[in-house]
Amino acid sequence: MSDHDIEASDAEERMAASTSDASLRRSLERSAEIERAIATDPSKFRIMTGDRPTGNLHVGHYFGSLANRVRLQNAGVETFVLIADYQVITDRDGTGPIKERALSLMADYLAIGIDPSRSTIYAHSAVPALNQLMLPFLSLVTDSELRRNPTVKAELDDSNGRPMSGLLLTYPVHQAADILFCKANLVPVGKDQLPHLEQTRVIARRFDERYGRAVPDRPVFPQAEALLSEAASVLGMDGTKMSKSKGNTIDLSMDATETAQRIKRAVTDADRFITFDPTNRPEVSNLVMIGALCTGRTPESVADEIGNGGGGGLKKFVTEAVNEFFAPIRARRIELAADPGYLLSVLRAGNAHANEVADATLADVRAAMNMAY
């Protein structure tokens, strides 16, 4: 590669980064506007969110997204919560103990405060009309567009030549169906998920342009917007991303003893004096942040209190804070997990409502496509 090519490549990267930064700023500004609108009239919004049933939810999930779902629900926003069971097989050879994991998700959701009288909890596989939307949606995207999607591209880059399944390649389209089946107009996301939402917006717009409208004065699908959260990113106990597959999590389902054991093994550093410095001391600062989140304090005040207490003092503080904060959630979760019949009844009721919504949406789609016969 010539010096000219390198300079051109660097310029393209800088331009892309600048565009991305500008897009993020606009998204943050719009999210602030949406929050103000929710406070004024939450009935204007419908949210779709959810998780794959691949393992236990943990404190990273709680502070990253779950608590925000409860906040929005309690603010009066209609909420759809997906148990994304079909998405389990996008990158796996089987489903594993999927029913047990789905019920575990249900127990977590209800224990943290998701209220089935105000939120609809449902499963992919139980809503046929949702999945049927994949067919017309696939006609609106190209192979190259899908391969440029960050999630698909990352999987392809990491595949070492392993063939990609059709389901994984079309994962962004399935996500669009998840959002659009219920005509959600708001999706809580992190900045890394913005490209997925933009693909959904493109599909909604192209459907209107290509196939038309069931009702003349409005598109079949809304342009769903992102609600970017300011939630802190919580790392795992080894200093890397908290992940179900790494065994570095503090699960919502853990008891106080298991929590203490997990935090005791957490990575710190050799400096005894505790400070909050995420750039230079990420592992220590992560523990400080967890302690702060659980006590409702600033991380700086937590670090100041521990001071010369060292790693041991920090871990003791965090253990007590986590166990105290999650004690009522865990107690409720134990009750819920002991009654799988109740969990199934809640899920089936949610599935029934999701099917009503999906069937109505599919009817609109078929009308717009002149297939209502």
Whether pLDDT at 22 is above 90 = no
Cα(159)–Cα(38) distance, rounded to whole angstroms?
Answer: 42
Q: Domains of the chain (ranges plus CATH)?
A: 41-231+342-368 (3.40.50.620), 256-337 (1.10.240.10)
Whether pLDDT at 64 is above 60 = yes
Sheet containing 78-83, strands listed edge to edge, beginning at the edge strand earlier in sequence: 119-123, 78-83, 46-51, 186-189, 225-228
What is the predicted pLDDT for the residue at 100? 95
Whether pLDDT at 12 is above 70 = no
Average pLDDT, integer, range 100-125: 96
Q: Which residue has the higher pLDDT, 43 or 228?
A: 43
Instruction: Note whether 217 and 229 are within 8 A (CB).
Output: no
Q: Chain centroid to CA 182: how far?
A: 17
* Token code pair at residue 222: 């809304």
Question: What percent of the chain clears pLDDT 70, i.e. is strictly above it?
Answer: 94
- The 10s digit of each residue's pLDDT in 84-110 is 999 888 877 778 889 999 999 999 999
What is the predicted pLDDT for the residue at 228? 87
pTM: 0.89
What is the predicted pLDDT for the residue at 10? 53
Cα(133)–Cα(211) distance, rounded to whole angstroms?
Answer: 13
Helix or strand (DSSP H, E) at 104: helix 98-112
Cα(152)–Cα(145) distance, rounded to whole angstroms?
Answer: 10
Whether pLDDT at 5 is above 80 = no
Band the pLDDT of 215: cuts 50, 70, 90: confident
What is the predicted pLDDT for the residue at 179? 97
The letter for the amino acid at 79 is T
- The 10s digit of each residue's pLDDT in 249-308 is 999 999 999 999 999 999 999 999 999 999 999 999 999 999 999 999 999 999 999 999
Cα(116)–Cα(120) distance, rounded to whole angstroms?
Answer: 6
Average pLDDT, integer, range 156-178: 86
Residue the block writes with tokens 């392809």: 156
Cα(52)–Cα(70) distance, rounded to whole angstroms?
Answer: 18
